[in-house]
Amino acid sequence: MRTYTFSEARQNFALILDQAQQEGSIQINRRDGQAFILKPTPILGSPLDIKGISLNITTDEIIDFVRESRERI
């Protein structure tokens, strides 16, 4: 894991983020001795993200289906 001072990280922030993405984590040290680990979070898709399907029906047909179902109630 690469280590940078706070000043180095601040001056090269975009580079630091890229390196954290590639290497998994980066350590940033402050003058007072505190150390921080910077690591990317995994990109997670929503469980509601599903691939759409083509039904080959028009908007008017969908509206007709909804109206018909409401009339049954």
Domains annotated for the chain, with CATH where assigned, are 2-72 (3.40.1620.10)
CB within 8 Å of 12: residues ≥ 6 apart: 4
**Threshold 0.75, pTM exceeds:** no
Q: Which two tokens stand for residue 39?
A: 């690591």
Rounded distance between C-alpha atoms, residue 25 and residue 19, angstroms: 8
Quote the pLDDT of residue 36.
97
Query: Which of the 8 DSSP states describes residue 30?
Result: -
pLDDT (tens digit per residue) in 18-72: 999 999 999 999 999 999 999 999 888 888 888 888 889 999 999 999 999 998 7
